[in-house]
């Protein structure tokens, strides 16, 4: 009798807890979208920001976010692919490997602000490159490498041993087997991981404040020569991203409509993350079906 | 033996034609060499990044003590933070960081475990189809968005409720609670799901109620996993910079209560590092704060390992 | 309780000096760490014949087979000599990739690549420098005919190999191996995952293939060994106990352990 009452009470408690949690989650998403979306317009998405007050559109910041994302991925995917292959294929089960794994663990658990400060120290203070796209992209790479490496290693290791044996038994080198046979099978998992990490990189701000900087100089979108100072592709110009912009507007901004601005920018950010999330699922599923295509 | 060798030779072959053929480097051996070089190089880059990160931040962080001769004891216990006047007491930030971290974990854990039990034991179907994707999405929401909501909703609410500015430890706690909730929940769900089914079936077959089964069998055997989840959540809270910085008020003074402006290691770092000059005491002092952050992240890491090892031992026994 | 047999009494045949041999091992030992999995195996495999390795599971026959083309590299320590065309291919400085091209292997579970049927065969060929389309096509047809799969798949060469049945997949794996034009083909229980009809097809294929290749096959199925092999070696707990022509092995086994195994009263 007592046990049954307890069971009943516990169930009610848990249902209450879930109701609170769901309530918070729904409120969060609803608040951002409802307060932000009405202010999102074409001119907001493409317009330029007033450098002094921080008011105005987010066109440059949006471009910067994507540009940094692309650069980060271009740098971090090859490195983590090589490192993932090392861990999945070449690493022996010994103390050196476990040391390497610990190092990657440590890197992945460092707060992003520490990673950003390291980037600041290295690029801005030591190398005197200044706040720039490239400093930001490399800081984001540091932050992205451990996750991507682990994801790639896991996806590669999940491929059956028999596939490796098949490749090796035909006289293919280990490398060729890994690249030509195992990688295509592991691709769905890898792509899902890459897109999810893209979402994380897209929203990261703490690592960027002191590397990519907090200003978004107006660029000339007609000039695509990366060597020109005014070109949006110039890797040495400072580049405030959307996430940094939200922080900046809220902490130092003088715009009278700061709340509206950041609500709208947050809504855009959330929608981008949502797209990355859904994209990861859909793309992963599509590739999975292609790789295991049994019918066609 | 010589005889057998000659049998194996092809009649038309030169004596050592096969020896040459089978010892020759081919495309495959070259590929293997190249592949090894590439992957060793990549892992080398990562190791180099980690090593130089630890080295740079440590050497910068200890400069306060080695170059500016601030005593470590004073740094850790002093309550007066005015680096431009030579006062380097980091206790307010240390207390602030630990306070918001523990408070957020304390509040979030029951909610996370409750939600995880719901998702795995009470309504697995709805859990998988509805809650799971939403929680995964929440893990991905950028921290500035949490900070903005804290600023736009939580701070005014606190101001309204208890007066004052609304900035302070309690607002930061609330923002962090919402931030770490999805992290802890999704990891707890994983550890509850990994409890063998037959544990549960055996318990139910003995006539235990669902709650008895959950509380005495499932939660108990998932304890290491739940602890790990909580530590991950705490590590995230401890290292979170912007969301906290936006709502805590950033006053480097000992927090007297939960509703007055305070500061954390991360918030002090983010607001201060751009305003100081490299090599000066105020700058070095900030790097010392960064060093504490780094060391704490190593501690969280070690805790996770210890729990994992303990958990393994328990299973082996 | 497992009956104890002495490892001292063995009956391993040797071949007349003029018998052409494909492969021969001398004192081959395999260790998995401290576990001594294979004790001095001295076996010779005649050219263009099928040799079957039989024995209970855990007898070391697969371990032995995998050592022959160095597939145990990095997994186990293999000592002793493996003679192939007068070269000891167990030496560390031998090019293992070259060896595996000459000594192909087919595994227990069919393991086609997650690629099209054609790509399964041409992938390794291309990696070996064969680029001409006509030659690749010819090799595809030849090897698929060799593995008795051509008629079933010739209209669907671009279909995924994973869409084939288990038996077809295994014959594709055989085709993939023989497309490399090896000398020797090693098969590790190739039919254990197949149904009886597919098994018959694979066996017919092997009987045809021995005209061109020397074949060593591991099987736990004595009927299969007696149906297809000319020579037969019996393995027991990491030792080669008896090696004889298949007909002799099954009609007149020499030592007690083989007698019991063949009679089915083993263990």
Tell me how far the alpha carbon of residue B282 is from its chain's centroid: 28
Q: Which residue has the tokens 């090589």?
A: A82
Residues C81-109: tens digit of each pLDDT: 999 988 899 988 899 999 999 999 999 99
> Residue A152 has what pLDDT?
95
Residue C267 pLDDT class (50, 70, 90 cuts): low
CA–CA separation, B36 and B30 (whole Å): 10
> Residue B11 has what pLDDT?
45
Across the interface, whether the CB atoms of A14 and B152 are under 8 A apart is answered no
Number of alpha carbons in the 13 Å side-chain half-sphere of residue B95: 22
Can you state the percent helix, strand and coil of chain A, rounding each to 5?
70, 0, 25
The residue among B283, B309, B312, B311 whose CA lies nearest residue B84 is B283
B164: burial class by Cβ within 10 Å (0-12, 13-18, 19+)? middle
At residue A51, φ and ψ (nearest 5 deg) are -60, -30
Residue A124 pLDDT class (50, 70, 90 cuts): confident
> Residue C10 has what pLDDT?
82
pLDDT at position B313 over 80: no
CA–CA separation, B237 and B250 (whole Å): 16
CA-nearest residue of chain A to B108? Answer: A21
> Residue B177 has what pLDDT?
93
Evaluate whether B240 touches A111 at the Cβ level (below 8 Å).
yes
Nearest to A173 among B31, B148, B211 (CB): B31
pLDDT at position B1 over 50: no
Residues 6+ apart with CB under 8 A from B135: A25, B182, B185, B186
pLDDT at position A82 over 90: yes
Question: Computed from CA positions of residues B86, B91, B97, B99, in that sequence, does the dihedral angle turn out positive or negative?
Answer: negative
> Residue C187 has what pLDDT?
94
Across the interface, whether the CB atoms of B24 and C98 are under 8 A apart is answered yes
Whole-angstrom CA distances from A162 to A165, B70, B172 are 5, 61, 52
Domains of chain C, first to last: 19-113+185-263 (3.40.50.300)
> Residue A57 has what pLDDT?
75
Under DSSP, is residue C213 helix (H, G, I), strand (E, B) or coil? Answer: coil
Nearest to B28 among C84, C94, C97 (CB): C97
Whole-angstrom CA distances from A235 to A58, A130, A217, A225 are 19, 11, 13, 11
Tokens of B125: 């179907």
Evaluate whether B311 touches B224 at the Cβ level (below 8 Å).
yes
- Mean pLDDT of all residues in B10-34: 76
Looking at per-residue confidence, does A248 or A220 come out higher? A248
Averaged pLDDT score across all residues of chain A? 85
> Residue C47 has what pLDDT?
92
Q: Which fold has domain A40-291?
A: MetI-like fold (1.10.3720)
- Mean pLDDT of all residues in B9-24: 67
A89 interaction partners in chain B (CB closer than 8 Å): 39
CA-nearest residue of chain C to B3? Answer: C17
At residue B194, φ and ψ (nearest 5 deg) are -85, 0
pLDDT at position C1 over 80: no
Residue A293 pLDDT class (50, 70, 90 cuts): low
CA-nearest residue of chain B to A173? Answer: B28
> Residue B7 has what pLDDT?
46
A99: burial class by Cβ within 10 Å (0-12, 13-18, 19+)? exposed
Nearest to B35 among A87, A174, A273 (CB): A174
Distance from CA of A282 to the nearest CA of C (A): 20
Specify the pairing of strand C184-188 against strand C103-106. parallel
Evaluate whether C210 touches C174 at the Cβ level (below 8 Å).
no
> Residue B235 has what pLDDT?
92
Question: Computed from CA positions of residues B117, B118, B120, B122, in that sequence, does the dihedral angle turn out positive or negative?
Answer: positive
pLDDT at position C53 over 90: yes
pLDDT at position B270 over 80: yes
> Residue C2 has what pLDDT?
61
> Residue B263 has what pLDDT?
86
Averaged pLDDT score across all residues of chain B? 84
Across the interface, whether the CB atoms of C112 and A295 are under 8 A apart is answered no
> Residue B14 has what pLDDT?
53
Q: Chain B residues within 8 A (CB-CB) of chain C?
A: 3-10, 13, 15, 18-19, 21-29, 32
Whole-angstrom CA distances from B131 to A199, B116, B152 are 20, 10, 26
Across the interface, whether the CB atoms of A184 and C114 are under 8 A apart is answered yes
Residues C108-134: tens digit of each pLDDT: 999 999 999 999 999 999 988 888 999
Residues A16-41: tens digit of each pLDDT: 988 898 888 888 888 888 888 888 87
pLDDT at position B6 over 70: no
> Residue A51 has what pLDDT?
61
Query: What is chain A's alpha carbon radius of gyration, rounded to the nearest angstrom?
Result: 23
Query: What is chain B's alpha carbon radius of gyration, rounded to the nearest angstrom?
Result: 29
Q: Which of A7-16, B218-227, C224-233 has the highest mean pLDDT?
A: C224-233
Number of alpha carbons in the 13 Å side-chain half-sphere of residue A283: 16
Checking A10-17 for CB contacts under 8 A at 24+ apart, the result is A10/B211, A10/B214, A10/B215, A11/B122, A11/B210, A11/B211, A13/B114, A14/B114, A14/B117, A14/B118, A14/B122, A15/B118, A15/B122, A17/B110, A17/B111, A17/B114, A17/B115, A17/B118
Residue B317 pLDDT class (50, 70, 90 cuts): very low
Residues B156-195: tens digit of each pLDDT: 888 888 877 878 888 899 999 999 999 999 999 988 888 8
CA-nearest residue of chain B to C46? Answer: B8
C84 interaction partners in chain B (CB closer than 8 Å): 8, 18, 22
Chain A contact present for C129, CB below 8 A: no
> Residue A60 has what pLDDT?
83
CB atoms within 10 A of CB B178: 25
Under DSSP, is residue A175 helix (H, G, I), strand (E, B) or coil? Answer: helix
Q: What angle do CA C124, C126, C131 make, to 5 degrees?
A: 160
C127 interaction partners in chain B (CB closer than 8 Å): 27-28
pTM: 0.87
> Residue A166 has what pLDDT?
93
Looking at per-residue confidence, does B8 or C195 come out higher? C195
CA–CA separation, B54 and A185 (whole Å): 36
* Cβ-based contacts under 8 A for chains B and C: 58
CA-nearest residue of chain B to A13? Answer: B114
Averaged pLDDT score across all residues of chain C? 89
CA-nearest residue of chain B to C101? Answer: B22
Residues 6+ apart with CB under 8 A from A262: A246, A249, A250, B148, B152
A168 interaction partners in chain C (CB closer than 8 Å): 71, 100
> Residue A170 has what pLDDT?
92
Residue A167 pLDDT class (50, 70, 90 cuts): very high
CA–CA separation, C157 and C144 (whole Å): 10
pLDDT at position B252 over 80: no
Residues A83-120: tens digit of each pLDDT: 999 999 888 888 899 999 999 998 988 999 999 999 99
> Residue A296 has what pLDDT?
37
pLDDT at position C202 over 80: yes
Residues A245-277: tens digit of each pLDDT: 888 888 876 666 777 888 888 888 888 888 888
Distance from CA of C88 to the nearest CA of B (A): 9
Across the interface, whether the CB atoms of B60 and A173 are under 8 A apart is answered no
- Mean pLDDT of all residues in A277-291: 83
> Residue B315 has what pLDDT?
56
pLDDT at position B5 over 70: no
CA–CA separation, C212 and A180 (whole Å): 30
Distance from CA of C84 to the nearest CA of B (A): 7
Least confident segment among A285-294, B208-217, C175-184, C214-223: A285-294
Cα end-to-end span (Å), chain C:
7
Nearest to B294 among A114, A176, A266 (CB): A114
Looking at per-residue confidence, does B152 or B14 come out higher? B152
């Amino acid at each position: 009798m007592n046990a049954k009452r307890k069971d009943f009470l516990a169930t009610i408690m848990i249902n209450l807890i879930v109701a609170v949690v769901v309530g918070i989650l729904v409120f969060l998403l609803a608040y951002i979208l409802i307060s932000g979306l009405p202010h999102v317009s074409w001119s907001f998405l493409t317009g330029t920001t007033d450098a002094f007050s921080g008011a105005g559109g987010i066109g440059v910041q949006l471009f910067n976010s994507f540009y940094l994302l692309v650069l980060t991925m271009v740098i971090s995917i090859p490195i983590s692919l090589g490192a993932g292959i090392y861990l999945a294929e070449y690493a022996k089960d010994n103390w050196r490997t476990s040391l390497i794994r610990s190092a990657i663990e440590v890197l992945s658990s460092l707060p992003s602000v520490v990673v950003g400060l390291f980037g600041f120290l290295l690029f801005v203070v030591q190398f005197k490159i200044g706040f720039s796209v490239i400093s930001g992209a490399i800081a984001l790479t540091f932050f992205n490498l451990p996750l991507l490496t682990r994801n790639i290693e896991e996806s590669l290791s999940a491929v059956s041993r028999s596939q490796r044996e098949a490749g090796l038994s035909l006289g293919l080198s280990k490398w060729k087997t890994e690249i030509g046979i195992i990688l295509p099978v592991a691709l769905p998992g890898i792509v899902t991981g890459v897109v999810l990490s893209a979402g994380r990189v897209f929203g990261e701000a703490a690592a960027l404040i002191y590397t990519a900087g907090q200003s978004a100089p107006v660029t000339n979108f007609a000039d695509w020569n990366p060597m020109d100072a005014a070109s949006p592709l110039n890797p040495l110009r400072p580049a405030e991203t959307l996430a940094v912009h939200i922080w900046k507007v809220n902490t130092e901004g003088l715009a009278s409509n700061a709340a509206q601005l950041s609500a709208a920018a947050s809504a855009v950010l959330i929608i981008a993350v949502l797209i990355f999330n859904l994209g990861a699922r859909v793309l992963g599923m599509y590739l999975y079906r292609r790789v295991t295509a049994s019918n066609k | 033996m010589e005889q057998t060798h000659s049998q194996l030779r092809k009649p038309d072959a030169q004596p050592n034609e096969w020896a040459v053929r089978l010892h020759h480097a081919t495309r495959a051996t070259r590929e293997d060499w190249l592949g090894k070089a590439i992957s060793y190089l990549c892992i080398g880059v990562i190791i180099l990044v980690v090593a130089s990160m630890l080295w740079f931040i440590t050497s910068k962080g200890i400069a306060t003590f080695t170059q500016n001769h601030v005593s470590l004891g004073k740094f850790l216990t002093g309550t007066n933070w005015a680096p431009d006047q030579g006062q380097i007491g980091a206790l307010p930030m240390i207390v602030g960081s630990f306070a918001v971290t523990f408070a957020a974990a304390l509040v979030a854990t029951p909610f996370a475990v409750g939600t995880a039990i719901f998702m795995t034991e009470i309504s697995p179907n709805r859990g998988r189809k509805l809650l799971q994707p939403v929680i995964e999405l929440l893990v991905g929401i950028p921290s500035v968005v949490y900070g903005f909501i804290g600023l736009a909703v939580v701070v005014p609410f606190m101001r309204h409720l208890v007066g004052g500015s609304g900035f302070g430890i309690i607002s930061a706690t609330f923002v962090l609670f919402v931030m770490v909730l999805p992290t802890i929940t999704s990891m707890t769900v994983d550890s509850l799901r990994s409890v063998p089914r037959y544990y549960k079936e055996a318990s139910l077959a003995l006539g235990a109620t669902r709650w008895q089964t959950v509380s005495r069998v499932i939660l108990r055997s998932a304890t290491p996993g739940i602890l790990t989840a909580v530590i991950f959540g705490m590590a995230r809270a401890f290292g979170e910079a912007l969301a906290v910085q936006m709502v805590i008020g950033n006053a480097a003074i000992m927090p007297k209560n939960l509703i007055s402006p305070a500061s954390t290691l991360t918030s002090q770092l983010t607001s201060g590092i751009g305003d100081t000059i490299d090599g000066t005491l105020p700058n070095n002092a900030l790097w010392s704060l960064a060093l504490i952050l780094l060391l704490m992240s190593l501690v969280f890491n070690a805790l996770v390992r210890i729990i994992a090892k303990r958990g393994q031992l328990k299973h082996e026994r | 309780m497992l009956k104890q047999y002495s490892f001292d009494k063995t009956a391993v045949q040797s071949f007349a000096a003029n018998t052409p041999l494909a492969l021969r091992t001398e004192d081959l030992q395999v260790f998995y760490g401290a576990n001594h999995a294979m004790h001095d195996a001295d076996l010779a495999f005649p050219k263009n014949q099928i040799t079957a390795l039989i024995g209970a599971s855990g007898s070391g026959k697969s371990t032995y087979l995998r050592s022959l083309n160095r597939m145990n590299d990095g997994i186990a320590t293999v000592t002793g000599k493996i003679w192939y065309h007068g070269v000891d291919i167990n030496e560390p400085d031998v090019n293992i990739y070259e060896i595996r091209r000459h000594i192909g292997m087919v595994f227990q579970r069919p393991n086609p690549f997650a690629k099209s049927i054609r790509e399964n065969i041409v992938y390794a060929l291309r990696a070996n420098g064969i680029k001409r389309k006509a030659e690749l096509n010819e090799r595809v047809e030849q090897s698929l005919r060799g593995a008795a799969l051509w008629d079933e798949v010739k209209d669907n060469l671009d279909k995924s190999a994973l869409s084939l049945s288990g038996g077809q997949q295994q014959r594709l794996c055989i085709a993939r191996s023989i497309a490399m034009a090896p000398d020797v083909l090693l098969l590790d229980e190739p039919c254990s995952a197949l149904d009886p009809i597919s098994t018959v097809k694979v066996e017919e294929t092997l009987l045809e293939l021995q005209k061109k290749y020397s074949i060593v096959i591991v099987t736990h199925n004595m009927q299969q060994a007696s149906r297809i092999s000319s020579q037969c070696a019996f393995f027991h707990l990491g030792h080669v106990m008896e090696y004889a022509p298949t007909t002799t092995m099954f009609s007149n086994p020499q030592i007690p352990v083989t007698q019991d195994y063949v009679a089915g009263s083993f263990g």
